[in-house]
Amino acid sequence: MKKAAISLLTLTLCICMLLCTFADVALASASRPKVEWTYPVSLTALQSPHVILVNVDNLLDKKYKPSPLVKVKGIKRATSATVELEETTLNALKEMFEAAKATTSYTYYVTDSKGVEKEVTAEFEEGMVLYLKSGYRSYGTQATIYANYLDRNNGVDDGYVAKPGSSEHQSGFCADILNKKWAALDYMNQEFETEVEAIWMKENCASFGFILRYPKEKEDVTGISYEPWHFRYVGKEVAGYIMARGLTLEEFTTESQTALNDFLSRGGDIAQQMEYEFLTQNAPPESNILDVYGEDGDPEVSLSL
């Protein structure tokens, strides 16, 4: 009987040692790569197709079409025409529209003509309602719009209508969004910026992965006039970074590409870094002992997420 107990103990110890070895292997594979990724946005987020830069210097191919491209249903639209969006973008847009609808009171600040800032609270009995005006636009459609505009404008391209391939709408990752008042009009202009819905979207869009793509003070960088209705999906991490710093996608692309080139020149390995990000992001949160003591004298433990 004693012998059996000793054998059982030995067996248990062996299993424990084996398990510890496996745990070490798992930990080793999640260990920090030798070349450190120092940019504040993860390399994984930068590798997403959603961060693609589309402008007059970075044209989309004639054949480019987002996939999966889906018909928009179930949200308010400012047009009777069919609107299509890339699927992830549409899901994020629905989330933003639902959050707006759940907003019954919104406080914001406006600066009057004398430069005095004042607080305004808007109430929405039935929630704030957003209207989708447009989404995906094919290369062919943009080419027709462009050609028609040139015809009307004596063949002069004054930059008012995007050249085919340079419109971000071909990506399927962006949307023009209005409120009820502007949805009823057949034009859009920059006065939309003073509407509470435009202010709310600018402040909250990043939480859903969107950026205000053509900001007011950055027209020289984007080459596009200020568009307070045009929102571009880039994913939550990139959107949070861009909106918090007031960047354009052009500036972000230059900055992140520089970081990537620096990483590669130091011998960094993209696949290894992405695997490390995957393992660390999916690891259970580390417990963190806070310098706060509960009533029982034990340190309060929190999970750092």
State yes or no: residue 218 binds Zn ion (CB under 5 A). Answer: no
Q: Which stretch binds Zn ion (CB under 5 A): 81-89, 201-209, 225-233, 295-303?
A: 225-233
Q: Which stretch binds Zn ion (CB under 5 A): 48-56, 61-69, 173-181, 285-293?
A: 173-181
The residue number with the shortest CB distance to Zn ion is 230
State yes or no: residue 86 binds Zn ion (CB under 5 A). Answer: no
Q: Minimum Å distance from CB 95 to Zn ion?
A: 19
- Our CB check for Zn ion shows the closer of 45 and 83 to be 83
The rounded distance, in Å, linking the Cα atoms of 168 and 250 is: 13
State yes or no: residue 176 binds Zn ion (CB under 5 A). Answer: yes
**Residue 190 carries which DSSP code?**
G
- Our CB check for Zn ion shows the closer of 46 and 249 to be 249
State yes or no: residue 197 binds Zn ion (CB under 5 A). Answer: no
Question: Which listed residue (230, 233, 247, 273) binds Zn ion by CB under 5 A?
Answer: 230
Q: Minimum Å distance from CB 92 to Zn ion?
A: 16
How many residues at the interface with Zn ion, by CB under 5 A? 2
Q: Which of 242, 176, 237 is nearest to 208 (CA)?
A: 237
Phi first, then psi, for residue 111 (nearest 5°) are -105, 125
Q: Which stretch binds Zn ion (CB under 5 A): 97-105, 158-166, 203-211, 228-236?
A: 228-236
- Our CB check for Zn ion shows the closer of 176 and 237 to be 176
Return the structure tokens found at 242. 């861009």
CA 215 to chain CA mean position, Å: 16
- Our CB check for Zn ion shows the closer of 16 and 185 to be 185
Q: Which of 175, 199, 191 is nearest to 103 (CA)?
A: 199
| Residues within window 37-66 making contact with Zn ion, judged by CB under 5 A | none
Instruction: Tell me how long the chain is.
Output: 305
State yes or no: residue 142 binds Zn ion (CB under 5 A). Answer: no
DSSP-derived 3-state class of residue 253: helix
Return the structure tokens found at 7. 């054998």
Phi first, then psi, for residue 188 (nearest 5°) are -130, 140
Annotation marks residue 227 as catalytic: yes
Return the structure tokens found at 62. 């004639």
The rounded distance, in Å, linking the Cα atoms of 41 and 32 is: 16
**Residue 249 carries which DSSP code?**
H
Q: Which stretch binds Zn ion (CB under 5 A): 73-81, 185-193, 224-232, 264-272?
A: 224-232
Q: Which of 227, 250, 255, 300 is flagged as catalytic?
A: 227
Q: Minimum Å distance from CB 230 to Zn ion?
A: 4
The rounded distance, in Å, linking the Cα atoms of 280 and 275 is: 9
CB atoms within 10 A of CB 205: 21
CB atoms within 10 A of CB 260: 17
Q: Minimum Å distance from CB 175 to Zn ion?
A: 7
Phi first, then psi, for residue 133 (nearest 5°) are -95, -45
Q: Which stretch binds Zn ion (CB under 5 A): 32-40, 83-91, 156-164, 171-179?
A: 171-179
- Our CB check for Zn ion shows the closer of 202 and 230 to be 230
State yes or no: residue 171 binds Zn ion (CB under 5 A). Answer: no
CB atoms within 10 A of CB 40: 11
| Residues within the interface to Zn ion (CB under 5 A) | 176, 230
Enumerate the active-site residues: 227
